[in-house]
């Protein structure tokens, strides 16, 4: 069989009429395979070079039957001159993430390739609208790159159940349909997963997010229901039960995909957008430039970035992110039947503490103090609360003694963002209170050793001086802690579970137990 120089292989890229890929020192002509490839055109991303870095991302390919398929297309080998120890030289293998955009340094990086980063705590409750550059990033693969011209000409294909298709360029969407703005939260199903792992003492699979895999933005775009109607889909068939289509699939340019029920897509109060703008600017590349779906009230996995295809179908999306991920099981179930659990769509009620500040010791005044009157430590808390399905949060409860007694936080009067009675945004809350001295326990009392969600967020403030009237016994061990806890309730009175152990699932999805943070002070 012939041997090919790398310079020749490079010419058989995605634009060539005969795309090639390499694996090891073998060269394959994949022209015939593209139309049959289950992942579609995405295989072209590897054309002109090695397929291996992609298989490291889509590990499903590391399978004998995949090698067998590829072997049918073998046309030769890489030239000896381009091999080092029988393998292609490292620098000839392209990094799929080489084109990823530069990210704001304040984002908290969980993984670089693919890029996953959470919004820093200060930014979570500082503003109602998360700035674009601090909005959390959750990518399964690389970030597609389009020039502004390519973006305007970017084509969205809509396929109806009978197989007919209609194409829209981004320009069509922007100029031929009414623009709609929706302010909505996106929350990853893995938000607070690390709290579930620590709080339950059981490891979970997945990115160990803290409380920052959630953000709120104003999205500009067109209503999905308008586009479906234009493409020839009759929404009345959904209402009268004769619709063949039961699901709307969204496919991204890098092969990510998922789906939502057709009911949500055509619900006049559903507000599903095909968005090209974010907070008044074009979508940033990390967030789906030039087009993404925004499914308010649903898990963010359904808000598909770099959107290129919409398919109406009687079945859910066949993608692994629809069928083999983003589902929950019982705490005892570790070998699971994926088919049996529904895909997560609407989100449950969630809340988190994103800031803790300890203030001064306050001493009760002479008149009000009784014999037992004790000094207390001022504490200021803030955070967010959110519920899925458009259900607004009606109350946030705060406990300064780990759940024994509760008070209510103050919900900030942010823009209501109610759309036909639906609330798609988070609510920010603040709380000012005082922790009585007796609630602070020395670590020996057990408080500091107890599992809280936020061991690493433990607040240590040594600034406060010991109250003058405190007895000398406190001088020996001076670090004292208490656990503050919060929970939110939404408009249908759903609330958060007390323990992560009770909702633990091996994938660590939907970690919504009370957020508990240990607050320590040097008395």
Half-sphere exposure of 285 (CA within 13 A, CB side): 17
Burial (CB count within 10 angstroms: exposed 0-12, middle 13-18, buried 19+), residue 374: middle
Q: How far apart are CA 285 and CA 306, in angstroms?
A: 9
The C-alpha angle 463, 467, 468, rounded to 5 degrees, equals 130
108-111/116-118 β-pairing: antiparallel
Of these partners, ligand MTE, Mo ion, none, which one is at the site of residue 217 (CB under 5 to 8 Å by kind)? none
Spatial separation of the C-alpha atoms in residues 274 and 246, rounded to whole Å:
19
Phi and psi of 96, rounded to 5°? -60, -20
Residue 396 contact among ligand MTE, Mo ion, none, beta carbon within 5 to 8 Å by kind:
none
Q: Is the separation of the CB atoms in 22 and 28 below 8 Å?
A: yes
Rg (CA), the chain: 27
Choose the stretch contacting ligand MTE; rule: CB under 6 A; options: 252-260, 263-271, 366-374, 409-417: 252-260
Q: SS3 of 1, please?
A: coil
Smallest gap, in angstroms, from Cβ of residue 1 to ligand MTE?
38
How many other CB atoms are found less than 10 A from the CB of residue 58? Answer: 17
Which one of 113-121, 122-130, 135-143, 246-254 is the stretch in contact with Mo ion (CB under 5 A)? Answer: 135-143
DSSP one-letter code for 90: G
Cβ neighbour number for residue 419 with a 10 Å cutoff? 19
**Residue number with CB closer to Mo ion (186 or 227):** 186
Tokens 């019982």 label which residue? 330
**Residue 132 or 521: which CB sits closer to ligand MTE?**
132
Among 110, 138, 305, 327, binds Mo ion (CB under 5 A): 138
Of 228, 273, 294, 301, which lies in the binding site for ligand MTE, with binding defined by CB under 6 A?
Answer: 301
> What residues act catalytically?
37, 61, 138, 188, 326
In the bound state with ligand MTE, the residue whose beta carbon lies nearer, of 157 and 237, is 157
Q: Which is nearer to ligand MTE, 136 or 419 (CB)?
A: 136
Site for ligand MTE in 164-183 (CB under 6 A): none
Determine, following the binding rule CB under 6 A, whether residue 219 of this chain makes contact with ligand MTE.
Answer: no
Residue choice 130, 303, 308, 482 for contact with ligand MTE (CB under 6 A): 303
**Cβ-proximal residue to ligand MTE, closest one:** 252
How would you list the strands of the sheet with 427-436, edge to edge? 350-362, 376-386, 427-436, 410-411
Residue 260 touches which of ligand MTE, Mo ion, none (CB < 5 to 8 A by kind)? none
Q: Decide if residue 265 touches Mo ion (CB under 5 A).
A: no
Please state, in angstroms and as integers, the Cα–Cα distance from residue 20 to each residue in 15, 52, 67, 420, following that order. Answer: 11, 13, 15, 53
* Dist. CA 472–CA 477, nearest whole Å: 10
Q: Between residue 123 and residue 152, which ones bind ligand MTE under the rule CB under 6 A?
A: 135-140
Strand blocks (E) in 30-179:
49-50, 74-78, 83-84, 87-88, 108-111, 116-118, 137-138, 155-159, 165-169
Q: Among 40-48, 155-163, 302-310, 490-498, which window interacts with ligand MTE (CB under 6 A)?
A: 302-310
Q: How many CA atoms lie within 13 A of 390 on its CB side?
A: 16
- Please answer whether residues 258 and 317 qualify as being in contact, where contact means their C-beta atoms are separated by less than 8 angstroms: yes
**Helix (H), strand (E) at residue 399:** strand 393-399
Stretch that binds Mo ion, among 15-23, 36-44, 99-107, 187-195 (CB under 5 A): 187-195
Q: CB nearer to ligand MTE: give 195 or 305.
A: 305
State the binding partner of 168 from Mo ion, ligand MTE, none, CB within 5 to 8 A by kind: none
How many residues bind ligand MTE (CB under 6 A)? The answer is 19
Binding span for ligand MTE by CB under 6 A among 13-21, 296-304, 366-374, 505-513: 296-304
298 binds, among Mo ion, ligand MTE, none (CB under 5 to 8 A by kind): none
Question: Which is nearer to Mo ion, 316 or 397 (by Cβ)?
Answer: 316
Of the ranges 227-235, 301-309, 369-377, 506-514, which one interacts with ligand MTE (CB under 6 A)?
A: 301-309
**Sequence-ordered list of residues with C-beta below 8 angstroms from that of 375, at least 6 positions apart, any chain:** 361, 362, 363, 364, 436, 437, 467, 469, 470
Can you tell me which residue has the tokens 């998360």? 130
301 touches Mo ion by CB under 5 A: yes
Indicate which single residue of 4, 54, 168, 256 sits in contact with ligand MTE (rule: CB under 6 A): 256
Least separation, in Å, of the C-beta of 294 and ligand MTE?
Answer: 9
Binding of residue 300 to ligand MTE (CB under 6 A): yes
* 252 lies in the site for ligand MTE, by CB under 6 A: yes
Residue 298 binds Mo ion, judged by CB under 5 A = no
Question: Based on CB atoms, which residue is closest to Mo ion, 265 or 510?
Answer: 510
Select from 104, 107, 35 the least CA-distant residue to 43.
35
Which residues bind to ligand MTE, rule: CB under 6 A? Answer: 135-140, 186, 188, 252, 254, 256, 286-287, 300-301, 303-306
Residues that bind Mo ion (CB under 5 A): 138, 188, 301
């Amino acid at each position: 069989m012939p041997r090919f120089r790398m310079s020749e292989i490079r010419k058989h890229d995605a634009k060539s009429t005969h795309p090639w890929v390499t694996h090891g020192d073998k060269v394959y002509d994949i022209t015939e395979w593209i139309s049959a490839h289950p992942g579609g055109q995405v295989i072209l991303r590897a054309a002109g070079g090695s397929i291996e870095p992609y298989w490291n991302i889509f590990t499903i390919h590391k399978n004998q039957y995949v090698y067998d398929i590829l072997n049918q297309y073998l046309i030769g080998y890489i030239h000896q001159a381009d091999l080092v120890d029988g393998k292609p030289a490292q620098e000839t293998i392209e990094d799929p993430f080489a084109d990823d955009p530069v990210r704001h340094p304040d984002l908290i990086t969980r993984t670089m390739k693919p890029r996953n980063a959470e919004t820093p705590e200060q930014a979570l409750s500082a503003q109602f609208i998360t700035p674009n550059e601090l909005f959390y990033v959750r990518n399964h693969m690389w970030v597609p790159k389009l020039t502004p011209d390519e973006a305007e000409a970017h084509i969205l294909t809509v396929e109806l159940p009978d197989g007919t298709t209609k194409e829209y360029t981004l320009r069509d969407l922007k100029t031929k349909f009414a623009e709609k703005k929706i302010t909505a939260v996106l929350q990853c199903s893995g938000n607070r997963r690390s709290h579930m792992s620590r709080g339950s003492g059981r490891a979970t699979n997945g990115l160990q997010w803290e409380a920052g895999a959630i953000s709120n933005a104003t999205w500009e775009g067109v209503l999905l229901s308008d586009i479906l109607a234009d493409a020839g889909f009759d929404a009345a068939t959904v209402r009268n039960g004769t619709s063949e289509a039961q699901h709307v699939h969204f496919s991204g340019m890098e092969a990510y995909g998922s789906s939502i029920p057709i009911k949500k897509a055509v619900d006049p109060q559903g507000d599903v957008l095909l968005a090209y703008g974010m907070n008044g600017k074009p979508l940033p590349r990390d967030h789906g430039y030039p087009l993404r779906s925004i499914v308010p009230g649903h898990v963010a996995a359904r808000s598909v970035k770099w959107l290129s295809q919409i398919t109406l179908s009687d079945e859910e999306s066949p993608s692994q992110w629809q069928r083999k991920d983003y589902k929950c099981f019982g705490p005892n179930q570790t070998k699971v039947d994926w088919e049996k659990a529904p895909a997560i769509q609407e989100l449950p009620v969630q809340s988190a503490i994103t800031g803790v500040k300890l203030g001064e010791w306050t001493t009760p005044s002479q008149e009000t103090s009784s014999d037992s009157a004790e000094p207390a430590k001022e504490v200021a808390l803030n955070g967010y609360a959110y519920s899925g399905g458009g259900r607004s949060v009606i109350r946030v409860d705060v406990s300064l003694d780990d759940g024994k007694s509760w008070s209510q936080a103050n919900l900030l009067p942010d823009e209501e963002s109610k759309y036909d009675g639906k609330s798609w945004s988070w609510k920010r809350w603040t709380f000012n209170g005082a922790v009585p001295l007796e609630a602070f326990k020395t670590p020996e009392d057990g408080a500091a050793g107890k599992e809280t969600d936020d061991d690493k967020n433990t607040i240590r403030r040594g600034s406060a001086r010991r109250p003058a009237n405190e007895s000398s016994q406190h001088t020996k061990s001076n670090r004292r802690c208490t656990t503050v806890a919060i929970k939110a309730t939404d408009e249908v009175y759903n609330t958060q579970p007390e323990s992560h152990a009770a909702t633990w699932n091996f994938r660590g999805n939907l970690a919504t137990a009370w957020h508990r943070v240990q607050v320590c002070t040097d008395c």
